[in-house]
Amino acid sequence: MNRVSLLDLKAEVELLWDEINAAIQEVLRSGVFIMGPNVKALEQEIARYLGVKHAVALNSGTDALILGIHALGIKPGDEVITTPFTFFATAEAISHFKAVPVFVDIDPRTFNLNVEQVLAKITPRTKAIIPVHLYGHAADMGQIMEIAREFGLRVLEDVAQAFGGEYKGRKLGSIGDAGALSFFPSKNLGAFGDGGMLVTNDDTIADTVRILRVHGARKKYYNERVGVNSRLDEIQAAILRVKIHHIDEWNRKRREAAAYYNELLRGVPDIELPYEAPYAYHVYHQYTIRVHNNRRDWLQARLREVGIDTAIYYPVPLHLLPIYQDISIRLPQAELASREVLSLPMGHTLNLSHQQRVAEAINAFMNS
């Protein structure tokens, strides 16, 4: 039996083969392979798409977080509030500066930072908040920004999973002091390798990140500070420039696929479907269900047996990782989610027959 993959990247390549091939050939013939005209053009196009003043291309989404935190002025001992239910890079970027990640439990419906619990975590050492727009669903940015203004905190949005997503009509990444984007191949807007970007309306933040990405120098060999090497390849920029013109259509198709899953899976025992808050335009980087009554791992194993790929994002909340064992806190909603979440095949090229096959299998197993 043919497998139903979690994400079919080859189908997207075939869909855009002529456009992408032409873009790559043009770069190869130009002889300019790093930080060339395609990088500059991509920065302008993404800034325009998101409605921000500045977009700074980088080597990865992780670098966007790290350099963003650097530009916000986070120092050793500072506290940064974030979610424990995310990829490690979010907290890793904080720890990189010997700052302290302060984990707040999640909203069980959106899987994002529970804003109501943020106030209790603020101390004189708190300097910033990093909300993560998990699975493509916006965090509650209105409340987060109100808290940030009241306490003089900086806000860095982690938009790695939510390119094109919105909060009350505003593109994610354009609301906080800065936004970190990832172009990892599996993302809604993905390159053919690593890539990332820092977006902001703040001139100082943008200028700082532009210097940091090239070893801390405005002018080559005249280094002003200790930076890093975080430059986006010209080929990756050219590929992303082809893809960005399709992103709204692709996100719309992801939403249509999610709606079809909702129709097919509604009423299945012990299955909780994804939630979309009224303020959010969800772009479904992942279509993630909850499987109750300790049946998640069992269901995943059964689906694997019949050729259906799924994934668990994430099996361990960050506060329970050995690296953060000295934090010693309990965050019950994040811990429960890690035992219940299951991401089903998703993507703008996902076909209806595959969705039907996934849903029929889940119905059969969960009703058995």
Number of structural domains (the chain) is 2
Distance CA 234, CA 259 (A): 37
Q: What are the tens digits of pLDDT across the range 271-317?
A: 999 999 999 999 999 999 999 999 999 999 999 999 999 999 999 99
Q: Is the pTM of this model over 0.85?
A: yes
Residues 344, 264 contacting (CB under 8 angstroms): no
Same domain, 144 and 235: yes
Same domain, 136 and 268: no
Query: If pLDDT is split at 50, 70 and 90, which confidence band does 368 have?
Result: confident
Q: What are the tens digits of pLDDT across the range 10-56?
A: 999 999 999 999 999 999 999 999 999 999 999 999 999 999 999 99
Same domain, 111 and 260: no
Q: Is residue 184 part of a domain?
A: yes
Classify the phi-psi angles of 307: left when phi > 0, otherwise alpha if psi is within -120 to 50, otherwise beta: left
* CATH number of the domain that residue 89 is part of: 3.40.640.10
User: What 3 state SS string does 168-234 have?
Assistant: CCEECCCCCCEEEEECCCCCCCCCCCCCEEEEECCHHHHHHHHHHCECCEEECCEECCCCCECCCEH
Same domain, 263 and 222: no
Q: Which domain holds residue 354?
A: 247-366
User: In the listed set 244, 277, 295, which residue is the last one of a domain according to the structure?
Assistant: 244
The answer on pLDDT for 248 being more than 80 is yes
The answer on pLDDT for 325 being more than 90 is no
Same domain, 65 and 179: yes
Same domain, 67 and 200: yes
**What CA–CA distances, in Å, run from 109 to 85, 112, 114, 145, 259?**
13, 8, 10, 21, 17
**At a CB cut-off of 8 Å and minimum separation 6, what does 24 contact?**
235, 238, 239
Q: What angle do CA 140, 144, 150 make, to 5 degrees?
A: 155
What is the structure's pLDDT at 328?
85
Q: Is residue 73 part of a domain?
A: yes
In DSSP terms, which residues pair with 115 in a beta bridge? none
